[in-house]
Structure 1
Amino acid sequence: MYQEQNYFSLDLELNNAQDNSTVNPKIIQIGLAVGNYHDYVNQSLSTYKWFLDPKEPIFEFITQLTGICNQDISDYAVPHEQAAKEIGEIITKRNCFVNPITWGGGDSLELKSEFKDRGITFPHFGRRWIDVKTWYSLHMLAMGKKPSGGLSSGLGSFKLQFEGSPHRADVDALNTLRLFFEILHRHNRIYQLVNDAKALK
């Protein structure tokens, strides 16, 4: 049953200029949310976060957006090797589906790239990801609506409230996974209705 499968969602916070002009912005926070559909229903999804040191000052814009400041990096940043090891252990122990759940694409590639640049072997992600933003866009287009808006809008379209403060990697990962499970459940119900209708013929 789809309710039993564990998944993990991934989100990153980057040290980027307000005009998005920074070339290859460094990761300053990794967020992970893990669990299955039953965990979602029971509000018991697990979340994790890691701070990484970009070896440069945090943009003031990023501090205002995410709440992450230079002191946080100084106090809480862990080596990339530690983050890679702990992430791998979490998704392996929970036997998660191989591809991460994301809001938009690219986070898993950026994370693996930073690990690779430091000579860290990280074999735990698949080559693809499940992009909930694309699912949301398809959902809105199918209803004849504009597929605009961010994660909060996506949740709202399914009558869900955003939980926590946005632009924190662990919080965004949690809300992404919540939306994923809601969409997955609704699609399952639709397929059941179609199969039931066919059975009536």
Structure 2
Amino acid sequence: MSRPLSDADLARFKERVCDVAAALFAERGAENVSMRQIAAALEVSPMTPYRYFASREEILTAVRIRGFETFAARLEAAHADTPGDGTAKAVAMGRAYIGFALANAHTYRLMFGLTQQDDAADGPLGRAVARARATLSVIGDRLIARGIPEAEARATEGLIWSALHGAVGLELAGTMPPGSAQDTLTLLARTLGRAG
């Protein structure tokens, strides 16, 4: 007779499900992946994933929550652990952004390449999305503190985020060579430094 699963066993298996599902979702498109395919990739019976998740959509939500939480934590740590002025902190956050995206390409694409109904809701996914977005607002906050009008500061923040996201996406797609996102960050840092 097999022993009952501990909380740690359950958590580990759920992580495995999320890892496998993230790769399948990114490779085939989330809408083209079934619970049966996830089970096959895990080499378990077709019903096993249902013991942990009610649906494919619930797995997708779990993958995206985990991604947003890890992403936000890395950006927050880069900001908190970097001495110096706001530009140095912003550059460190940019490096953390690029590092996360390149190391977690499947999850990154799911985080920013699609939306779910709960993205803006007051639930676990909505809070994870909001936390990740808040980490990116420190650039605009810094510009506002330096006397730049809020509308301009937020537009600059959006421009920087868009440029970095675009460069990362192009590098992940192989359209731009390795190191292109870092080169873009270097240019953005010069622009941000001149803004002050």
TM-score range, shorter chain: under 0.3
State TM-score, norm by structure 2: 0.27
Q: Which has the higher contact order (CA 8 A, sep 6+)?
A: 1
Greater CA radius of gyration, 1 or 2?
2
The structure carrying a bigger strand percent of its residues is: 1
